[in-house]
């Protein structure tokens, strides 16, 4: 009985949503973890996209959207089911999936069904590899390495650099490789290059001593925040205080239960979105997000907000109409995304390669008094 009511409710919802804009609205669908351990990412993406859709629909724009998010609980199989539900609903363009593993699965479906996808945040290389109609709004993992080296060199944060990375993790090794090659190109000196793996990720005294003895001014930590928190604690114990530089995996260190936030003081990390930025669009977005959801939006929300606006721009440029089928739209979108330049919250002058990878400038953030503050 419960199921029946849920069905009626869902049907009613879809019908009212469908009536709102008639044939003028593009049906935009996405999957993401709305429940479970990764729910923080899925809900952020959904909320960010919803704000963009509401803004556009309230404006005098010709392009209107209908947005539907389905729950995939960060599971590849459920993501495909969610994707099929969206297809039955009549999805014309897709936001892919929020997290990498599920997005790998749905991207393959997008490719075979010829439904264009622009994922806000699935950053793995495998998401876009070999698919001409799947694009990313976030950095692809390895690009973070070269972007970090570029940033360190541009801002003259240090000449002598130590890296501690995790050699059994594809995310960490990918960033490490591109960082090393870019650093060499830019004349940064990597004085210490040390690694760890799952079995010995507790004691970092050797890596830290090596970095300290070789006079590293900056230590680059391409890893998730769990081992990073141990490294920071152990460095503090031996009074070693270089500049610390992290990547987006570092995002989350401040929300760890029981973490002494003073340890992360001064940690710099590269993320595409800075909620403290002073441009009018970011200010409006952050205010609206806080008003509706009671928290400061993270990069997932901003990425997905940008996805909707990028779609709006591409659809307007190609003079697409909402009565076109998914395959026609797909061809138009591929043409637009590989040629257009887009300005969003997460970067200016964004362009996309034929492979679907985005090029944009990352923004530096520093942790001050237990909170993120923009560097630029």
Partner 1 sequence: MTLLNFFISGISLGSIYAIIALGYTMVYGIAKMLNFAHGDVIMVGAYVCFYAVSRFQLPVLAGVALAMFVCTLLGIIVEKLAYKPLRQAPSLAVLITAIGVSYFLQNTALLMWSSNPKVFPSVVGRGAVKLFEGQLSISHVTIITIVTCVVIMLCLTWFTGNTRMGKAMRACSEDKGAAQLMGINVNATISMTFAIGSGLAAVAGVLLCSAYPMLMPTTGSLPGIKAFTAAVFGGIGSIPGALLGGLLLGVIEIFAKAYISSQLSDAVVFAVLIVVLLVKPAGLLGVQMTEKV
Looking at the Cβ atoms of 125 and 233, the one nearer to partner 1 is 233
Interactions with partner 1, residue window 182-201 (CB under 8 A): 194-200
Q: Which two tokens stand for residue 142?
A: 């390895």
Q: Which of 129, 230, 340, 375 binds partner 1 (CB under 8 A)?
A: 230
**Using rule CB under 8 A, residue 209 touches partner 1:** yes
Q: Which of 185, 203, 279, 316 binds partner 1 (CB under 8 A)?
A: 203
Rg (CA), the chain: 22
- Identify the bridge partners of residue 371 per DSSP, sorted by sequence position: 368
Reported as type and span, the H/E element at residue 161 is strand 160-166
Looking at the Cβ atoms of 153 and 229, the one nearer to partner 1 is 229
Interactions with partner 1, residue window 140-169 (CB under 8 A): 167
Q: Which of 202, 294, 319, 369 binds partner 1 (CB under 8 A)?
A: 202
Task: Return all residues near 321 (Cβ < 8 A) that are at least 6 apart.
Answer: none
Contact (CB, 8 A) for 251 and 271: yes
CA atoms within 13 A on the CB side of 34: 12
- The span from the CA of 308 to the CA of 95, in Å, is 9
> CA torsion, points 65, 71, 74, 78, in degrees to nearest 10?
-110
- Identify the bridge partners of residue 165 per DSSP, sorted by sequence position: 195
**Using rule CB under 8 A, residue 318 touches partner 1:** no
> Total binding residues for partner 1 by CB under 8 A?
30
Binding mask 256-295 for partner 1 (x = CB under 8 A): xxxxx-----------------------------------
SS3 string, 271-307, reads: ECCCCCCCCHHHHHHHHHHHHHHCCCCCHHHHHHHHH
Nearest distance from C-beta of residue 261 to partner 1, angstroms: 10
Q: Which of 59, 61, 181, 226 binds partner 1 (CB under 8 A)?
A: 226
Binding mask 14-53 for partner 1 (x = CB under 8 A): -----------------------x----------------
Positions in the binding site for partner 1 (CB under 8 A): 37, 167, 194-200, 202-203, 205-207, 209-210, 213, 226-227, 229-230, 233, 237-239, 256-260
């Amino acid at each position: 009985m419960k199921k029946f009511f849920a069905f009626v409710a869902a049907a009613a919802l879809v019908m009212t949503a469908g009536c709102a804009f008639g044939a003028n609205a593009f049906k935009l669908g996405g999957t993401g973890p709305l429940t479970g351990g990764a729910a923080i990412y899925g809900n952020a993406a959904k909320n960010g996209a919803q704000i963009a859709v509401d803004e556009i629909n309230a404006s005098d724009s010709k392009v209107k959207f209908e947005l539907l998010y389905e729950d995939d609980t960060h599971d590849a199989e459920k993501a495909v089911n969610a994707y099929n539900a969206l297809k039955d609903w009549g999805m014309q363009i897709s936001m892919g999936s929020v997290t990498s593993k599920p997005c790998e699965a749905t991207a393959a479906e997008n490719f075979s069904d010829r439904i264009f996808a622009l994922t806000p945040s699935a950053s793995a290389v495998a998401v876009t590899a070999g698919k001409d109609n799947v694009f990313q709004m976030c950095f692809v993992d390895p690009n973070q390495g070269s972007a970090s080296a570029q940033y360190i060199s541009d801002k003259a944060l240090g000449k002598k650099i130590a890296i501690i990375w995790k050699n059994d993790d594809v995310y960490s090794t990918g960033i490490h490789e591109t960082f090393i090659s870019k650093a060499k190109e830019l004349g940064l000196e990597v004085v210490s290059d040390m690694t760890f793996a799952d079995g010995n990720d507790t004691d970092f005294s050797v890596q830290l001593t090596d970095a300290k003895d070789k006079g590293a001014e900056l230590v680059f930590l391409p890893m998730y925040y769990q081992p990073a928190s141990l490294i920071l604690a152990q460095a503090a114990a031996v009074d070693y205080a270089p500049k610390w530089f992290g990547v987006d995996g570092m995002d989350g260190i401040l929300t760890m239960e029981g973490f002494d936030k003073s340890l992360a003081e001064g940690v710099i990390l590269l993320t595409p979105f800075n909620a403290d930025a002073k441009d009018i669009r970011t200010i409006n977005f952050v205010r609206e997000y806080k008003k509706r959801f009671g928290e400061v939006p993270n990069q997932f929300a901003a990425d997905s907000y940008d996805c909707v606006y990028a779609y709006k721009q591409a659809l307007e440029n190609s003079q697409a109409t909402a009565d076109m089928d998914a395959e026609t739209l797909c061809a138009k979108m591929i043409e637009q995304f590989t040629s257009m330049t887009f300005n969003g919250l997460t970067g200016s002058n964004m362009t996309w390669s034929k492979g679907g990878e985005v090029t944009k400038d990352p923004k530096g953030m520093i942790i001050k008094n237990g909170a993120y503050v923009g560097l630029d």
